[in-house]
Structure 1
């Protein structure tokens, strides 16, 4: 495993922050590519585990960033990665928010909203596919992922119920 310096970790997550259209989940394929494939800071299974932990924990989806930083450099790494991830996008969001409110009736604002929605959905879908192919080791996991997707869409229950059911299936050795 290649360990970055604190400043390298901070700057890498600053760059991720600037690409975060749709939130941290939309960035998962790029974070995975950089952290696992390019820099080799983590293994694929470890990345998938961190994602699962971050999703199960209360709080924002961006918690995976803190877990990556913590694994690499402890508490200072967790802080550096989180600060790097939230600072640039927060500053930009504050500035854009003022403009967004100012031009609330503008036709170009509506066009941007219509254009960003499918991009965000596509990025999040890509993230899900990446995590599935990284974590899945057999047809059972693909079946659980498919059933969870369908159940989430049609039943509209809290996703933690699906996570709990998948954990039970895993504990029983079904998947």
Structure 2
């Protein structure tokens, strides 16, 4: 029996800014270095690896920088953020497949945006409300992210790849600023 409720926003308080900045978007991804920031949720690294492969194959990205956060609930460590800002042109973050990790992923995306690097966050559709709540707490109401059907953790390799293929157009749209792909859960 639970004696207390776990706060999926990790206890983050709203910041004192007047809205988080959004990084300038490139027109295209060809020739750019993509950062992949995974959490420790099952299939997060495999999902992002598939996204990285698809971006290279379909959008001619130049390289990938892979990092994994040690905790699903804590913000991206300052050293990791600084390193990825230095090395990456754009960053994909995920996979938010629970309340805490969805909130954390959105907070990380907003941190990259504030540092001048376009970010695309992937969350499962069951935790849209949690992700949106974190965006509000970080003074970024309406922060856009990509949704994939819940759950991601139990998928096999083929299922992970199918999800990556399905969400790729949305990720590209988020990273380049193209708004042709609507915000919705992708099939898969």
Bigger radius of gyration among the two: 1
TM-score (norm 2): 0.27
Structure (1 or 2) with the greater helix fraction: 1
Would you tell me which structure has more strand in proportion to its own residues? 2
TM-score by length of 1: 0.28
